Amino acid sequence: MTATLEPRAIGRDLARRDGAAKVRGTAVYADETPVADPLFCRIVQATVARGRVTEVDTADAAALDGVVTVLTSTDAERLASTDDAELAVLQGTEVGFRGQIVAAVLAETDEVAREAVDLVRVTYAAEEHDARLAADRDDLYTPESVNPTYPPDTHEGDMAAAMAEAPMTLEATYTTPMHHNNPMEPHATTALWDASGAGHLTLWDSTQGVHPVRQTVTQIFALEPEQVRVICPFVGGGFGSKGTPHANVIMAALAARAVPGRPVRFALTRQQMFSLAGYRTPTIQRMQLAAERDGRLRGIAIDVVEQTSRIKEFAEQTGVPTRNMYAASNRRTTHRLAALDVPVPSWMRAPGECPGMFGPEVAMDELAAALGIDPVELRIRNEPEVDPETGKPFSSRNLVACLREGAERFGWAGRDHRPGVRLEDGWWVGTGVAASVYPTMRMPKSTATVTYDAGRFVGRIGAADLGTGAWTVLPQITADALGVPVEDVDVLIGDTDHPEASVAGGSSGTTTWGSALVEAVREFRDKYGDHPHDGDAASGSVNPNAAEEDYAMSAFGAQFAEVRVHADTGEVRVPRLHGVFAAGRIVNPRLARSQFLGGMTMGLGMALHEQSLLDPRTGHVVNHDLAEYHVPANADVDDLQAHWIDEDDPYVNAMGSKGIGEIGIVGTAAAVANAAWHATGVRVRDLPVTLDRVLPAR
Amino acid sequence: MRPFAYATPPDAREAVLAVAERPDASFLAGGTNIVDHLRLGVATPGLLVDVTALTSAEIEDLPDGGLRIGAAVRNSDLAADHRVRARYPVLAQALPSGASGQLRNMATTGGNPLQRTRCVYFQDVTTPCNKREPGSGCAAIGGATRNHAILGASEHCIATHPSDMAVALAALDAQVQVLGPDGDRTIPFTDLHTLPGSTPEHDTVLGHGDLITAIDVPALPLATRSRYRKVRDRASYAFALVSVAACLDVADGEVHDVRIALGGVAHKPWRAHRAEEALRGAPATDESYRAAAEAALTDALPQEGFDGGNAFKIPLLTGTLVSTLRELAGEETRT
């Protein structure tokens, strides 16, 4: 147990420090890094989903005025490591998915590069591909682990017996479609190798972690860490898609390698982001619930089928939240994968929890309806005393408080639980609830330094701010650790010249980097006391949290939705969406609210709009732009509220904080689907809840 | 994306001749559609002739009480015009339901009806498309067809026309003023757009070099009671799954006169003559409206697709039409 900091700057409603620069347009993003005389890279993508490139005719492209070079797998430099097939850019002729990079053009202007890629002619020996996910495939396999290192299957007790013997059982299949992260800023890199031939590479990259990018790049190009600098002050959103470097980063470095001394800009187009920057796998979730008549679960099971790419495995941990959400002595969770000729899936906001709380939370709603129990009450009755999976007590678990607070704020009391009985002005009206959960994660490695200079303290750590607020909350934490006003503290981030930091992923940033800064301050005060001199500096690293041995740690929440369904057209609207969260101490209420609301809005998109349509005939996503891949528009969002309860958790970290970047998206879609059922009586088990799926309500 | 020349001729006549003499020339007005297509490689003109300043940006009263809308009138200005709002609510409602504020500030009256039909495969040069490349096949058939046609499609093309404004103009019996290489002519708006048939590369009857200079909307007292209802997958900034433009005159509980056009269902704004015929003289009831929808959808043919297809458009259009007419008739009760 770490002594919790006395909150002075922590908890203050401070405006984001980078806000003014962003509003004024002076914040510099990767693709607009001011560099002298850049070249522009554009790519040619495979138009078959499986096969081999037999010929790349680059003559016309190379002949174009302004084209510097055309790169293909025949002439691109051999990379030192091709173990990661996603990153083995232009290293062979095999095509693993449609959209894979098969050639690239470097030109003096972006316009010429664009023209030139149209002139590159690629011939393929196409092979029959397979891009159709189904639960009844005969080639499903069990991965060794699911993201990041969970066992794929768990069995506790006897689920089959529970299903056979329980007075009430429920069995249903739920699906979530393929989703794409779609951050506003596309994946972009400006890359520069030094002209001297010393092999020094600078990457200005839009990333959730400069050090993870450096680590990958050093492996792939066989470089020492000192030879690579990655810089990223600002990120226009990532949602996981910039958490691990994708092929675009290697492409940029590889292209720049061909022209040492000249910077190269490479940004994916929106369409290219649908095949090269990761995505969330579609999921098929078969749920089983076995319950007593009073709603207490005797058993809960989830059997997940999802996809990965044939060339690289990513196994979404969809079944994991079912392992410790509710008390049930019999539990089964399984994951089966289909390896398809499709782009490589990866992290997307709350991997595991986000899709994995759809099936269970709709199933709980169905169970509540079947038993005639208030769905809020059903969840309360299944609240575990200890983590059902590990038997450890929770460091803090306030799901029940969130449900009660949310019910109070939302006006849940007195709800008529019957579905399809409220028609107001031609709209069926209903309400729904679902629970949220997200584990409190701490990454094993991160280091920070603190320096004193001219009356100010400067922290340095290679952290990332993807709009999440790190530029602002890290000074708050450092100030409280130092016991000085936050105005006297700067924390510099986003550069591998700063000490090594972990990825901004798993909602772990504030915990991990904040802990490193607190340790650095502790060192600093130990060495220099309360009266440092200019230039005094100290370093500290995040420690493993010993309390994790004894406690399970997660944030929880409850989401309440009101849904209206037009009686004639089936149009689905969500006039109210209220979330209440218990996520430890909130470091900055203003930024936290943004995080929660952003997560909930993305959850609303998952509920109503988002689905990547992967055409099984071609193997590519055909609605690959923001006109066709719908995310919520302002008109879709009306009364959206995020609240939190005061949670005092002395075990999580010195800040008392839990991660909040992802929990907002967890459970939202289930709350909306449950409300849509309550409105219409139509149970939608497949996302998104589009009008044609509720139209039969008429 | 290919390089292209850009010209700004002094007047409309010169612009028409400039386009007419080069097979690879295109007009450029607001650019809200063609610029996308340039970027995507869907359109590859060698010459863009900018006509934005060459046609009228005024809305004039016509002697019969109608309006002449200059081709350069921006969608946002047209939507805000008090005469349009008073005489043709259906048009004033259709305009702001399309695109976004930024796009409506750019899009013009002449350009809006000429936006190409919308289809993800048309927009994706890596897939076959008879509209983009005649004879290459239609990738949409059997593909993602949620947004595709249920009326008037062919084995060559199942795309839908995306304009909301055009659906309203089809209901209003608008007339299109065209300046071509051989002079002026007038085309009924409902004849402007074509069905795909075996020549889906053509969206309209306009020839190469034909320039829309204005759109006339005739006096139509009935249109003061009119409405545009658009149904889409999100609350704004999305193309119609279906839409209904309707003008309704009810007297003594009977439909005296009616105009109906449908959007999101065909390669062109779909004037629903059969529905109108079924309604004239019929009691103003849900049953009549439903029968009118059935009449309009007699020949409807939904598309299958890996995304679930678009059979839902039949009940959806029925519900939308019934709901729109009921609201126009001012009926409170559901049947």
Contact yes or no for A426 and B308 at CB 8 A:
no
Question: Is the domain of A23 the same as that of A49?
Answer: no
Contact yes or no for A569 and B235 at CB 8 A:
no
The answer to whether residue A214 sits within a structural domain is: yes
Q: Which residue of B has its CA nearest to A631?
A: B234
**pLDDT digit string, tens, across residues B173-205:** 999 999 999 999 999 999 999 999 999 999 999
Quick check: B333 pLDDT over 50? no
The residue with tokens 């202007």 is: A109
Closest to B166 in 3D by CA, of B117, B130, B101: B117
Distance CA A686, CA A694 (A): 11
Region B296-311 average pLDDT: 98
Distance CA A683, CA A672 (A): 11
Distance CA A620, CA A275 (A): 7
Quick check: A199 pLDDT over 50? yes
Residues of chain A with Cβ-Cβ distance to B241 below 8 Å are: 691
**pLDDT digit string, tens, across residues A482-497:** 999 999 999 999 999 9
What six digits make up the tokens of B61?
């009263």
Q: Give the pLDDT confidence score for residue B169 in this predicted structure.
A: 98
Q: Give the pLDDT confidence score for residue A696 in this predicted structure.
A: 66
Supply the CATH classification number for the domain B225-329: 3.30.390.50
The answer to whether residue A136 sits within a structural domain is: no
**pLDDT digit string, tens, across residues A157-173:** 999 999 999 999 999 99
> Residue B298, class by beta-carbon neighbours within 10 Å (0-12 exposed, 13-18 middle, 19+ buried)?
exposed
Residues of chain A with Cβ-Cβ distance to B323 below 8 Å are: 426, 566, 568-569
Q: Per the structure, how many domains does chain A have? A: 3
The strand pair at B25-28 and B47-50 is best described as parallel
Distance CA A624, CA A613 (A): 8
Question: Is the domain of A585 the same as that of A683?
Answer: yes
Residue A540 belongs to domain with CATH number: 3.30.365.10
Region B26-51 average pLDDT: 97
The answer to whether residue A305 sits within a structural domain is: yes
Quick check: A462 pLDDT over 70? yes
**pLDDT digit string, tens, across residues B121-155:** 999 999 999 999 999 999 999 999 999 999 999 99
Distance CA B127, CA B140 (A): 9
Candidates A86, A523, A610, A662; catalytic one: A662
Query: By the 8 A CB rule, do B75 and B104 touch?
Result: yes
Q: Which residue of A has its CA nearest to B320?
A: A569
Q: Does B332 contact chain A (CB < 8 Å)?
A: no
> Of the candidates A479, A511, A544, which is a domain's last residue?
A544
Query: By the 8 A CB rule, do A312 and A246 touch?
Result: no
Q: Which residue of B has its CA nearest to A695?
A: B316
Question: Is the domain of A472 the same as that of A596?
Answer: no
Mean pLDDT of chain B: 96
What six digits make up the tokens of B236?
């704004």
Distance CA A539, CA A498 (A): 11
Mutate to test the interface with B, among A569, A630, A684 (most CBs of B within 10 A): A569
Q: What is the residue extent of each domain of chain B?
A: 5-52, 225-329
Share of chain A above pLDDT 70, in %: 99
**Cα A96 from chain centroid (whole Å):** 24
Query: By the 8 A CB rule, do A311 and A85 touch?
Result: yes
Angle at B147 between CA B144 and CA B153, to 5 degrees: 95
Considering only the beta carbons, identify the residue of A47, A569, A622 that sits closest to B144.
A622
Quick check: B43 pLDDT over 70? yes
Distance CA A239, CA A245 (A): 13
Start-to-end Cα distance in chain A: 57
Distance CA A477, CA A479 (A): 5
Query: By the 8 A CB rule, do A180 and A281 touch?
Result: no
Q: Does B33 contact chain A (CB < 8 Å)?
A: no
Question: Is the domain of A301 the same as that of A380?
Answer: yes
Considering only the beta carbons, identify the residue of A620, A622, A695 that sits closest to B316.
A695
Mutate to test the interface with B, among A111, A573, A622 (most CBs of B within 10 A): A622
Region B11-21 average pLDDT: 98
Considering only the beta carbons, identify the residue of A426, A622, A624 that sits closest to B143.
A622
Question: Is the domain of A622 the same as that of A665?
Answer: yes
Distance CA B200, CA B185 (A): 24
The residue with tokens 């008090």 is: B82
Contact yes or no for B319 and A623 at CB 8 A:
no
Question: Is the domain of A365 the same as that of A435?
Answer: yes
Region B72-82 average pLDDT: 98
Å between A372 CA and nearest CA of chain B: 31
Distance CA A215, CA A210 (A): 9
Å between B121 CA and nearest CA of chain A: 7
Q: ipTM of the predicted structure?
A: 0.96
Contact yes or no for B316 and A691 at CB 8 A:
yes
3-state secondary structure of A266: strand
**pLDDT digit string, tens, across residues A126-159:** 999 999 999 999 999 999 999 999 999 999 999 9
The one-letter code for the residue type at A20 is A
> Of the candidates A527, A544, A561, which is a domain's last residue?
A544
**Confidence band of B65 (pLDDT split at 50, 70, 90):** very high
Question: Is the domain of A38 the same as that of A70?
Answer: yes
The answer to whether residue A10 sits within a structural domain is: no
Considering only the beta carbons, identify the residue of B142, B236, B319 that sits closest to A568.
B319
Share of chain B above pLDDT 70, in %: 99
CA atoms within 13 A on the CB side of B238: 25
Helices A358-371 and A668-680: angle between axes, nearest 10 degrees: 30
Region A249-262 average pLDDT: 97
Quick check: A558 pLDDT over 70? yes
> Of the candidates A520, A544, A568, which is a domain's last residue?
A544
CB pairs under 8 A between A and B: 94
Q: Does B163 contact chain A (CB < 8 Å)?
A: no
Share of chain A above pLDDT 90, in %: 98
Question: Is the domain of A350 the same as that of A229?
Answer: no
Contact yes or no for A617 and B142 at CB 8 A:
yes
The strand pair at B226-231 and B211-217 is best described as unpaired
Report the greatest alpha carbon distance in chain A.
77
Residues of chain B with Cβ-Cβ distance to A573 below 8 Å are: 235
What six digits make up the tokens of A219?
């492996």
Quick check: A218 pLDDT over 60? yes
Å between B233 CA and nearest CA of chain A: 7
Q: Does B241 contact chain A (CB < 8 Å)?
A: yes
Closest to A215 in 3D by CA, of A198, A197, A196, A228: A228
Distance CA B243, CA B94 (A): 9
Parent domain of A468: 19-28+443-544
Peptide bond preceding A148: is omega within 30 degrees of 0, i.e. cis? yes
Å between A225 CA and nearest CA of chain B: 39
Query: By the 8 A CB rule, do B272 and B296 touch?
Result: yes
**pLDDT digit string, tens, across residues A521-557:** 999 999 999 999 999 999 999 999 999 999 999 999 9
Query: By the 8 A CB rule, do B236 and B227 touch?
Result: no
Question: Is the domain of A175 the same as that of A208?
Answer: no
A662 is catalytic: yes
Phi-psi domain of B124 (left: phi exceeds 0; alpha: psi -120 through 50; beta: other): beta
Query: By the 8 A CB rule, do A483 and A522 touch?
Result: no
Q: Does B331 contact chain A (CB < 8 Å)?
A: no
The 3 state secondary structure assigned to A533-558 is CCCCEEEEECCCCHHHHCCECEEEEE
3-state secondary structure of A94: strand
Quick check: A448 pLDDT over 70? yes
The one-letter code for the residue type at A355 is P
Q: Which residue of A has its CA nearest to B286?
A: A568
Phi-psi domain of A12 (left: phi exceeds 0; alpha: psi -120 through 50; beta: other): beta
The answer to whether residue A138 sits within a structural domain is: no
**Confidence band of B331 (pLDDT split at 50, 70, 90):** very low
**Confidence band of A196 (pLDDT split at 50, 70, 90):** confident
B289 vs B2, more confident: B289
Distance CA B189, CA A489 (A): 67
The answer to whether residue A134 sits within a structural domain is: no
The residue with tokens 């994946």 is: A187
Quick check: B117 pLDDT over 60? yes
Considering only the beta carbons, identify the residue of B121, B126, B312 that sits closest to A695.
B312
**pLDDT digit string, tens, across residues A586-611:** 999 999 999 999 999 999 999 999 99
3-state secondary structure of B210: coil
Å between A3 CA and nearest CA of chain B: 48
Question: Is the domain of A392 the same as that of A500?
Answer: no
Considering only the beta carbons, identify the residue of A568, A617, A633 that sits closest to B236.
A633
**Confidence band of A697 (pLDDT split at 50, 70, 90):** very low
> Residue A340, class by beta-carbon neighbours within 10 Å (0-12 exposed, 13-18 middle, 19+ buried)?
buried
Q: Does B134 contact chain A (CB < 8 Å)?
A: no
Residues of chain B with Cβ-Cβ distance to A632 below 8 Å are: 234
Q: Give the pLDDT confidence score for residue A3 in this predicted structure.
A: 83
Supply the CATH classification number for the domain B5-52: 3.30.43.10
Q: Does B7 contact chain A (CB < 8 Å)?
A: no
The residue with tokens 């700067």 is: A490
Phi-psi domain of B326 (left: phi exceeds 0; alpha: psi -120 through 50; beta: other): alpha
Question: Is the domain of A478 the same as that of A564?
Answer: no
Question: Is the domain of A339 the same as that of A216?
Answer: no
Helix, strand, coil: what percent of chain B each, to 5?
30, 25, 50
The answer to whether residue A13 sits within a structural domain is: no
Give the A-side interface with B, CB within 8 Å: 45, 47, 111, 114-115, 118, 426, 566-571, 573, 608-609, 613, 615-618, 620, 622-625, 627-628, 630, 632-636, 690-692, 695, 698
Quick check: B335 pLDDT over 50? no
3-state secondary structure of B51: coil
**Confidence band of A2 (pLDDT split at 50, 70, 90):** low
